[in-house]
Amino acid sequence: MIKGTGVDIVEIKRIRQSLDNEKFINRIFTAQEQSYCNGRNIMRASSYAARFAAKEAVVKAFGTGMRGGTWQDIEIVVDEAGAPHVKLHGYFAYSATKRKIYNIFISLSHSKDYAIAQAILEG
């Protein structure tokens, strides 16, 4: 059963301009996300933007806003094949358990100027 859906689009240029702001990066992205994105070289800004859009899409799917949670409670990881997955921590992990959300489907894409993500909560 679908428990929520969310979508977000991000202008890559805005994220690129924030990449020199270490405080922003550390507040939004986990160490694992930073390691992945920083290893993407020319795709670095696009990778960060797609993950930011994914986090926003997950928040929208939950429908609760950030009340009680942090950006790092939503982590976007990749499997061996490079497919993205959502890993929840803290408030959002608690909320998912309480709402009987067992799976989160995430899709990321980007063009030259924009990154987009869609999240579907299943329970």
Supply the residues annotated as catalytic.
Answer: 60, 110
**Which two three-digit tokens encode residue 118?**
């869609």
In the annotated binding site for Mg(2+), the residues are 8, 56
The annotation places the binding site at 8, 56
Cβ–Cβ < 8 Å for 54, 117: yes
Contact 8, 106 (CB under 8 A): no
- DSSP state letter for 29: S
b/e 67-77 (16+ beta carbons within 10 angstroms → b): eebebbbbbbe
Query: What order do you get walking across the sheet with 2-11 strand by strand?
Result: 2-11, 114-122, 103-110
